[in-house]
């Protein structure tokens, strides 16, 4: 059933929008930016992924099967974990290269999503895919960015300042103090995107969820309240996820004798 007043987009409308991306890719080639191909690949991926997700959610909304919801949520987490790993120049070696980001997002995004569904939104059933999947998706997407930035900053700065860290260890500082300033900088870097988003929301930018609800016909004030809830949840998820990732990552950089293990970083 189509909501009253909702304007449907035709394939021709989407083709016009895609033409703008093709134009931008052409300009990037002309200017030798070396990003045109990546832009086209990203656009193609987004097209396939979103259309497939639309089909999956259409089937999911009609069944409300908790196992299907859990399966899709697990797939989303697995892909987000891979993206976190792929965005790091110097990732942790071994399973922790993938596990640090994935585990931190699971502990933050999943727990906050469940809390929001059970206490704040309270749909019936609480795992209703209409609410659970979009909420988890927004939390995972933003937490993924914060975790990726934090881990990348942590590993890069550790390699750049390894001599300084080893000198601090040599004079008797514990590992947590020797790498303390790098951990703090990594956390700040991971939190900057969401802080900027909250700072400019409603003045410079109209956030995506609020825009979508208004286009779908929701009252602007209700859309604003939902967007506020999402921003607060994203901030909490990003903060907790980044802190967990930096804690796991920094502990992995040292052995039991508090020696810096550069072999645990991919160089």
Residue 78's pLDDT is what?
92
Domain boundary among 63, 81, 100: 63
Q: How buried is residue 238: exposed, middle or buried, by Cβ count under 10 Å (0-12/13-18/19+)?
A: buried
The upper half-sphere exposure of residue 108, i.e. CA atoms within 13 Å in the direction of its Cβ, equals: 30
Contact in structure between 43 and 23 (CB atoms under 8 Å) = no
| Cα 8 versus chain centre, distance | 29
Residue 134's pLDDT is what?
86
Both 47 and 82 in one domain: the answer is no
Both 183 and 112 in one domain: the answer is yes
Both 47 and 83 in one domain: the answer is no
Residue 4's pLDDT is what?
58
Both 146 and 21 in one domain: the answer is no
Contact in structure between 132 and 68 (CB atoms under 8 Å) = no
Domain boundary among 21, 38, 63: 63
**Please, what sign has the CA dihedral across residues 75, 81, 84, 88?**
negative
Residue 9's pLDDT is what?
75
pLDDT string in tens for the chain (267-residue length): 455 556 677 888 888 888 988 999 888 888 888 888 888 999 999 899 888 888 888 888 787 788 888 888 999 899 988 888 888 777 777 777 888 888 999 998 888 999 999 988 888 888 888 888 888 988 898 899 889 998 888 888 888 887 887 788 788 777 778 788 888 888 888 888 888 888 877 777 667 777 777 777 778 788 888 888 888 888 888 889 889 988 888 888 777 776 776 656 655
* 205: phi then psi, degrees, rounded to nearest 5: -125, 150
Quote the CA–CA distance of 161 and 25 in Å, as a whole number: 38
Q: What is the DSSP letter of 123?
A: -
Both 156 and 206 in one domain: the answer is yes
Contact in structure between 138 and 230 (CB atoms under 8 Å) = yes
Both 209 and 185 in one domain: the answer is yes
Both 110 and 55 in one domain: the answer is no
Both 129 and 260 in one domain: the answer is yes
Quote the CA–CA distance of 126 and 101 in Å, as a whole number: 27
* 150: phi then psi, degrees, rounded to nearest 5: -65, -50
**Please, what sign has the CA dihedral across residues 214, 212, 105, 62?**
positive
Domain residue limits at 184? 66-264
Number of domains in the chain: 2
Both 74 and 195 in one domain: the answer is yes
Both 239 and 158 in one domain: the answer is yes
Count of residues in the chain: 267
Q: Where are the alpha helices (DSSP H) in 110-207?
A: 111-115, 129-160, 162-170, 175-178, 180-200
Domain boundary among 63, 83, 101: 63
Quote the CA–CA distance of 263 and 267 in Å, as a whole number: 9
Residue 2's pLDDT is what?
54
Both 250 and 183 in one domain: the answer is yes
Residue 157's pLDDT is what?
85
- pTM for the full model? 0.78
Both 4 and 75 in one domain: the answer is no
């Amino acid at each position: 059933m189509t909501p009253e007043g909702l304007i449907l987009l035709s394939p021709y409308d989407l083709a016009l929008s895609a033409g703008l991306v093709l134009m931008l890719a052409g300009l990037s080639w002309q200017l030798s930016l070396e990003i045109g191909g990546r832009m086209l690949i990203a656009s193609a991926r987004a097209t396939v992924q979103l259309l497939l997700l639309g089909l999956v959610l259409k089937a999911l909304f009609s069944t409300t099967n908790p196992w299907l919801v859990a399966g899709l949520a697990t797939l989303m987490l697995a892909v987000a974990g891979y993206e976190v790993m792929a965005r790091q120049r110097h990732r942790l070696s071994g399973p922790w290269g993938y596990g640090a980001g994935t585990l931190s997002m699971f502990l933050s995004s999943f727990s906050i999503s469940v809390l929001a569904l059970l206490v704040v939104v309270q749909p019936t059933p609480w795992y209703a895919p209409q609410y659970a999947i979009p909420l988890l998706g927004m939390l995972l997407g933003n937490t993924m960015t914060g975790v990726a930035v934090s881990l990348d900053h942590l590993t890069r700065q550790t390699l750049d300042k390894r001599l300084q860290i080893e000198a601090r260890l040599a004079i008797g500082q514990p590992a947590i103090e020797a790498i303390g300033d790098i951990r703090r900088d990594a956390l700040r870097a991971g939190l900057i995107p969401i802080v900027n988003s909250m700072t400019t929301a409603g003045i410079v930018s109209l956030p995506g969820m609020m825009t979508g609800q208004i286009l779908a016909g929701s009252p602007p004030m209700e859309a604003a309240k939902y967007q506020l809830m999402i921003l607060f949840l994203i901030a909490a998820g990003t903060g907790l996820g980044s802190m967990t990732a930096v804690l796991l990552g920094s502990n992995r950089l040292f052995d039991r004798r508090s020696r810096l293990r550069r072999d645990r970083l991919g160089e």
